């Protein structure tokens, strides 16, 4: 398919917005705080930042340049460049479907919290224990969270079938600045709560004494998850970039935005966690029990809670759209399905798996594998195994197989190649793959 026939985003600003829309989501505001809380706070954050800089940035540049060079979906991009490596694309598609399935469940929770902020006065309850109970009560309900997840999938589906440009661009433009301001205000409020300083210390002062290989893997996996890299989503998105969109500039801005949102989320959550006496290692429920505790201390709590969860819903939506789009584009272009049929296939499959993931938090929580329920298993396997593996293979491909002339052209269209390129190339060829391999080996317990 020629580049001209495909949809393109409007221009430089839009490329940043849609890519940031994909990156900024529940990964930053739900997953990041819950993992930081489980893994000792400051040390996790420090390793996370390091991972973003050392592997995240080179990998995002790699994925973008594969997309701008080929103008294809993740599978098509590898197929066009080197057939033997096409399995990386398939792995990405598989991982996208798995992530989207449990992501829809959490996205559904945010939608439920948004509606409940309006219709219930639970959010005004000053007792943190009541928020824990309310959350438990909700996610173990056999049908409510399931319906919310399915509803979220359907809304994603609608936007996807409306077309790339209109749907995605519009959504991203409004949401980001508002979310940013809301997080900033809530972070300041949270830090000023009694006992908030203790939370700040937990989140920002690293204590490396408890760091294990598992902590590092969790931080690295979270870096990929948050930046939407490792499974080809950014290849697909970059394939829609307008000619002349800067790969390096977009990467830098998206990474900066994404990391700032994670930082703000941490600053918002941890002071409140300590202030309300919530356990920082509460896992996936952490944000959902902490946020109401923050809102209950605000005047007009229902109002703020509604607005904030609405923003979260939108942030989640721009991320579900990106995962859905990357699989839909694959089915559409490689299987020659109509866009409608392709989108339905993705929506139905992730819907069914989403139901399973949702029920595994409640009535099916007894079904476990390696001690994980299905939801946790999907979360763990994708972020800690599939994403780092996809990242490793993508680095190896771009470092060793991808035509360097083409790669350079994507990065420096004006041919102004300098020291930066040599650093980047060293990272992609050696440092990133080696550190990922070592990390894997340590986690398997071989060393």
Give me the residues that bind ligand TRP (CB under 6 A), please.
Answer: 22-23, 25-28, 99, 225-226, 228, 231, 233, 319, 322-323
Closest CB to ligand TRP among residues 25, 89: 25
Shortest distance in whole angstroms from residue 309 CB to ligand TRP: 15
CB of 143 to ligand TRP, least distance (A): 25
Least separation in angstroms between CB 96 and ligand TRP: 6
Find the shortest distance in angstroms from Cβ 358 to ligand TRP.
Answer: 18
Report in angstroms how near the CB of residue 216 gets to ligand TRP at its nearest: 19
Least separation, in Å, of the C-beta of 323 and ligand TRP?
5
**Of 153 and 362, which CB lies nearer to ligand TRP in the complex structure?**
153
Q: How far is the CB of 310 from ligand TRP (least distance, A)?
A: 16
CA dihedral 147, 151, 153, 156 (to 10 degrees): -170
Among all residues, whose Cβ is closest to ligand TRP?
A: 27
| 202 vs 225 by CB, closer to ligand TRP | 225
Name the residue nearer to ligand TRP (CB basis): 187 or 391.
391
Find, among 142, 95, 167, 129, the residue nearest to 391 by Cα. Answer: 95
Instruction: Give the integer Cα–Cα distance in Å for 77 and 441.
Output: 29
Contact 345, 93 (CB under 8 A): no
Q: Is the Cα torsion angle 278, 281, 283, 286 positive or negative in sign?
A: positive
Instruction: Name the residue nearer to ligand TRP (CB basis): 231 or 267.
Output: 231
Q: Tell me how far, at minimum, the Cβ of 230 lies from ligand TRP, in Å.
A: 6
- In the numeric block, the tokens 């991972």 are attached to 51
Residue with Cβ nearer ligand TRP (256 or 417): 256
What SS3 class is residue 130? Answer: helix
Task: Please give the Cα distance from 437 to 168 (Å, whole number).
Answer: 36
Between the CA of residue 299 and those of 241, 279, 295, what are the distances in Å? 44, 25, 8
* Residue 209: how many other CB atoms lie within 10 Å: 7
Rounded to a whole number of angstroms, the minimum distance from the CB of residue 231 to ligand TRP is 5
DSSP code for 230 = S
Distance of closest approach, residue 350 Cβ to ligand TRP, in angstroms: 13
* Other C-beta atoms lying within 10 Å of the C-beta of residue 266: 27
Identity of the residue, 156 or 305, whose beta carbon is nearer to ligand TRP in the bound complex: 156
Q: Can you tell me the distance from the alpha carbon of 299 to that of 213, in angstroms, rounded to the nearest whole number?
A: 44
Cβ distance 99 to 323 under 8 Å? yes
CB of 28 to ligand TRP, least distance (A): 5
Measure the CA–CA gap between 149 and 85, rounded to whole angstroms. 34
CA distances from 156 to 16, 125, 161, 300, 304 (A): 20, 33, 9, 31, 25
State the Cα–Cα distance between residues 274 and 270, nearest whole angstrom. Answer: 6
Q: Identify the CA nearest to 346 among candidates 98, 164, 78.
A: 98
Contacts with 12 (C-beta within 8 Å, 6 or more apart), sequence order:
242, 244, 245, 246, 249, 250
Crossing angle between the packed helical segments 86-119 and 128-139, to the nearest 10 degrees: 120
Measured from the CB atom, the residue of 235 and 411 that comes closer to ligand TRP is 235
> Which tokens sit at 192?
């000023």
Closer residue to ligand TRP (CB): 27 or 271: 27
CB of 237 or CB of 274, closer to ligand TRP: 237
**Closer CB to ligand TRP, residue 186 or residue 316?**
316
Closest CA to 29 of 290, 237, 253: 290
């Amino acid at each position: 398919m020629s580049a001209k026939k495909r949809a393109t985003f409007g221009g430089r600003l839009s490329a940043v917005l849609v890519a940031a829309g994909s990156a900024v989501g529940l990964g930053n505001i739900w997953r990041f705080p819950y993992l930081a809380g489980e893994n000792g706070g400051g040390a996790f954050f420090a390793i996370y930042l390091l991972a973003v800089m050392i592997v995240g940035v080179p990998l995002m540049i790699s994925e973008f340049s594969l997309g701008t060079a080929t103008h294809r979906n993740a599978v098509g991009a590898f197929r066009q460049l080197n057939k033997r490596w096409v399995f990386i694309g398939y792995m990405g598609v598989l991982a996208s479907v798995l992530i989207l399935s449990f992501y829809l469940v959490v996205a559904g929770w945010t939608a439920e919290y948004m509606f409940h902020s309006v219709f219930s006065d639970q959010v005004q309850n000053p007792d943190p224990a009541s928020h824990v109970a309310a959350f438990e009560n909700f996610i173990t309900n056999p049908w409510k969270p399931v319906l919310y997840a399915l509803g979220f999938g359907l809304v994603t589906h609608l936007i996807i079938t409306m077309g790339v440009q209109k749907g995605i661009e519009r959504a991203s433009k409004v949401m980001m600045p508002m979310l940013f301001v809301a997080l900033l205000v809530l972070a300041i409020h949270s830090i000023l709560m009694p006992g908030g300083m203790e939370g700040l210390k937990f989140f920002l002062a690293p204590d490396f004494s408890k760091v294990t290989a598992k902590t590092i893997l969790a931080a690295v996996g979270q870096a990929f998850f948050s930046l939407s890299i490792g499974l080809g989503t950014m290849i697909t998105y970059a394939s829609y970039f307008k000619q002349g969109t800067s790969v390096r500039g977009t990467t830098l801005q998206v990474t900066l935005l994404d990391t700032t949102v994670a930082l703000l989320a941490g600053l918002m959550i941890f002071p409140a966690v300590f202030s309300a006496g919530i356990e920082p290692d509460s896992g996936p429920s952490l944000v959902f029990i902490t946020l109401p505790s923050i809102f209950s201390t605000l005047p007009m709590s229902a109002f703020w809670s509604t607005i904030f969860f609405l923003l979260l819903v939108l942030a989640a939506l721009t991320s579900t759209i990106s995962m859905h789009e990357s699989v839909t584009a694959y089915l559409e272009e490689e299987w020659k399905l109509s866009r409608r049929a392709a989108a339905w296939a993705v929506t139905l499959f992730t819907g069914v798996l989403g139901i399973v993931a949702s029920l595994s938090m409640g009535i099916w929580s007894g079904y476990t594998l390696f001690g994980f329920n299905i939801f946790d298993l999907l979360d763990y396997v994708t972020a800690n195994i599939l994403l780092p593996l996809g990242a490793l293979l993508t680095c190896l491909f771009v470092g060793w197989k991808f035509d360097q002339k083409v790669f350079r052209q994507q990065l420096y269209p004006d041919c102004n190649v300098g020291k930066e390129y040599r650093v980047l190339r060293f990272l992609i060829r050696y440092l990133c793959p080696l550190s990922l391999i070592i990390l894997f080996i340590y986690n398997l317990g071989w060393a």
